[in-house]
Amino acid sequence: MTELPDIDFENSFAAQMEGFFVPWEGAKAPKPEVLRLNHELADELGLDPELLKGEGGARLLTGAAAPDSAVPLAMVYAGHQFGGFSPQLGDGRALLLGELVGPDKERRDLHLKGSGRTPFSRGGDGKAVLGPVLREYLMGEAMHALGIPTTRALAAATTGEKVLRDTGPEEGAVLARVAASHLRVGTFQFFAARGETAKVRQLADYAITRHYPELAQSEMPYLDLFRRVSKRQADLVAKWMNVGFVHGVMNTDNTTISGETIDYGPCAFIDSYSPKAVFSSIDAHGRYAYANQPAIMQWNLSRFAETLVDLVNPDDSDDAIAKLTEVLNQFPALYEEAWLDGMRGKLGLFEPQAEDIDLTTGLLTSAEGQNVDFTGLFRALAQMVRGDESPARALFDDPAAFDIWAELYKKRLAAEPVAAQERAEAMERVNPIYIPRNHLVEDALDAARQGDMGPFDRLLGVLSAPFSEQPGAEAFAAPAPESFGRYTTYCGT
């Protein structure tokens, strides 16, 4: 049998966090094959792409086998899912193989999604199928190219078996993904709900060491941990909102301590601007709608705060709650600052002014209900700065509201002594031309299911350079045709 790639895993979580996981092995894939490998990420991790693409690499990347240096395990966690608490979730179809420390000295988890049933599968088969695996690969790489903290795909591998789903048998697949860690708010919730304060403290200490080592000298490290996680999540959600991303399943088990985006199941990017945009088939009441994401993140962080009360002040819970609440109440301001800073960049505003919040919200208000392409609008504003406002104006069904806003915008620009070309180029560096348009994502996944990876590769290539105009890629910048209809996404379980 072909030898596995010689990968030197480190295993700080396995070594230090006994009781937070179950040692486990992946299912034996009958005919594993690496369908797509992220060469750029492999190089960044110090891994040999050629070895990973071979038979031994396919066995490793599907979980069918693990090198001696790995300690495969299924992590345990809990979580609020659509507002309801599930006291035990965990890696029901995933394994943490171990940690990689690349040439950049950064520590990252290598995690397999779809590697088979675990003790946390809750009746599921623990498998994944090709479409959702390729969706997560595509979305993670698109987000990375947009400069948004995210888990990333190292590889998409097929298992050589058929997996039964509601639509019939589908091709089995495994996503090998990389993250700063897979610690979640739900990890803390699991132990806090059981009253295991010592384990919550152990987990917090591990999170500080791994993600916020500067807090080791803090007088109140656990309060400062909450402060840092809150800031990272405020920045993250602001970045989502700035590009029109809807996560779709913002459960506490999908809220990371590192501040990375995780889990690309029922996610999508908005085409026409709508605060109420929802794409998930299971979000019937719009809990995780586009405009609700900042408030939901604050709600998730309040659940995190609850787990830290006994750590912040073991002798006085009222004092601890007051301190945590003070930090939590700062979240809206942190989010607004990060969001507005991003929007200033999108609008080409160099010098912050008090009226910028009204100017920005005024643009969005003018676009609501007008079938305005969100991504195209901000890109067109750079043309307006150069003197041609017709492309932006043409995006509106009724441009009257835009015309009123445009006059305010021109006055705001005139208050800053910045050359038009300089401003427009700065805007184009932060306003993408290309996002994962929902109809193109579905076309690429449908083709892949039929054995044609060409559309997937082409879309992935375009999305790797979202801010630069690419000859022949005009269709990738266009919104969906009317015939595409209302878009609905699914969890992929």
Q: Which of 179, 213, 244 is the last residue of a domain?
A: 179
In a domain, 244, yes or no: yes
- pLDDT value at position 484? 86
Pairing state of beta strands 152-165 and 94-101? unpaired
Q: Hunting for tokens 């003197």 — which residue is that? A: 387
Count the domains in the chain. Answer: 2
Q: Hunting for tokens 């405009």 — which residue is that? A: 291
170 DSSP β-pair partners: 163
Q: At what angle do helices 331-347 and 356-367 cross, to 10 degrees?
A: 80
Instruction: Judge if 133 and 206 occupy the same domain.
Output: no
Cβ atoms of residues 270 and 157 within 8 Å: no
Q: Which tokens go with 276?
A: 């109420």
Instruction: Judge if 287 and 332 occupy the same domain.
Output: yes
* Whole-angstrom distance, CA of residue 133 vs CA of residue 172: 9
- pLDDT value at position 4? 86
Cα four-point dihedral sign 348, 351, 357, 359: negative
Burial of 354 (0-12, 13-18, 19+ CB in 10 A): exposed
**Residue 253 annotated among the catalytic residues of the structure:** yes
In a domain, 486, yes or no: no
Instruction: Judge if 128 and 147 occupy the same domain.
Output: yes
> Which residue type occupies 298?
Q
Cβ atoms of residues 255 and 300 within 8 Å: yes
- pLDDT value at position 493? 41
Instruction: Judge if 197 and 147 occupy the same domain.
Output: no
Instruction: Judge if 71 and 195 occupy the same domain.
Output: no
Burial of 454 (0-12, 13-18, 19+ CB in 10 A): exposed
Q: Kindly report each contact of residues 424-427 with a partner whose C-beta sits within 8 Å and lies 24 or more positions away, as own/partner.
A: 424/348, 424/382, 424/383, 424/385, 424/386, 425/382, 426/345, 426/348, 426/350, 427/345, 427/346, 427/347, 427/348, 427/378, 427/381, 427/382, 427/385
In a domain, 163, yes or no: yes
- pLDDT value at position 486? 78
In a domain, 369, yes or no: no
Q: What are phi and psi of 349, to 5 degrees?
A: -100, 120
Instruction: Judge if 328 and 218 occupy the same domain.
Output: yes
Q: Which tokens go with 282?
A: 């299971």
Q: List all residues 6 or more positions away from 337 whose beta carbon is below 8 Å from its beta carbon.
A: none
Q: Which of 157, 179, 201 is the last residue of a domain?
A: 179
In a domain, 456, yes or no: no
Instruction: Judge if 123 and 160 occupy the same domain.
Output: yes
Please pick, among 109, 253, 271, 373, the residue that the annotation labels catalytic.
253
In a domain, 196, yes or no: yes
- pLDDT value at position 175? 98
Instruction: Judge if 165 and 242 occupy the same domain.
Output: no
Radius of gyration of the chain measured on its C-alpha atoms: 23
Cβ atoms of residues 220 and 324 within 8 Å: no
Instruction: Judge if 200 and 145 occupy the same domain.
Output: no
Q: Kindly report each contact of residues 439-446 with a partner whose C-beta sits within 8 Å and lies 24 or more positions away, as own/partner.
A: 439/480, 439/481, 439/484, 439/487, 440/475, 440/476, 441/135, 441/138, 444/134, 444/138, 445/131, 445/134, 445/135
CA contacts within 13 A on the Cβ side of 426: 16
Residue by residue, pLDDT tens for the chain (493 residues) are 578 888 999 999 999 999 999 999 999 999 999 999 999 999 999 999 999 999 999 999 999 999 999 999 999 999 999 999 999 999 999 999 999 999 999 999 999 999 999 999 988 899 999 999 999 999 999 999 999 999 999 999 999 999 999 889 999 999 999 999 999 999 999 999 999 999 999 999 999 999 999 999 999 999 999 999 999 999 999 999 999 999 999 999 999 999 999 999 899 999 999 999 999 888 888 999 999 999 999 999 999 999 999 999 999 999 999 999 999 999 999 999 999 999 999 999 999 999 999 999 999 999 999 999 999 999 999 999 999 999 999 999 999 999 999 999 999 999 999 999 999 999 999 999 999 999 999 999 999 999 999 999 999 999 999 999 999 999 999 998 888 877 777 765 4
Determine the distance from the C-alpha atom of residue 459 to the mean position of all C-alpha atoms in its chain, rounded to a whole number: 19
DSSP 8-state assignment for residue 462: H
Cβ atoms of residues 372 and 268 within 8 Å: no
Determine the distance from the C-alpha atom of residue 12 to the mean position of all C-alpha atoms in its chain, rounded to a whole number: 24
- pLDDT value at position 492? 57
- pLDDT value at position 485? 73
Instruction: Judge if 31 and 172 occupy the same domain.
Output: yes
* Whole-angstrom distance, CA of residue 320 vs CA of residue 223: 9
Q: Which helix (H) or strand (E) holds 55?
A: helix 55-62
Q: Which of 143, 159, 179 is the last residue of a domain?
A: 179
* Whole-angstrom distance, CA of residue 46 vs CA of residue 180: 16
Instruction: Judge if 156 and 241 occupy the same domain.
Output: no
Burial of 248 (0-12, 13-18, 19+ CB in 10 A): buried
* Whole-angstrom distance, CA of residue 418 vs CA of residue 349: 9
In a domain, 73, yes or no: yes
Q: Which domain holds residue 85?
A: 12-179
Q: Hunting for tokens 């990017």 — which residue is that? A: 269
In a domain, 484, yes or no: no
266 closest CA partner among 281, 276, 284, 254: 281
Cβ atoms of residues 23 and 71 within 8 Å: yes
Q: What is the pTM of this model?
A: 0.96
Instruction: Judge if 50 and 162 occupy the same domain.
Output: yes
Q: Which tokens go with 198?
A: 């010592």
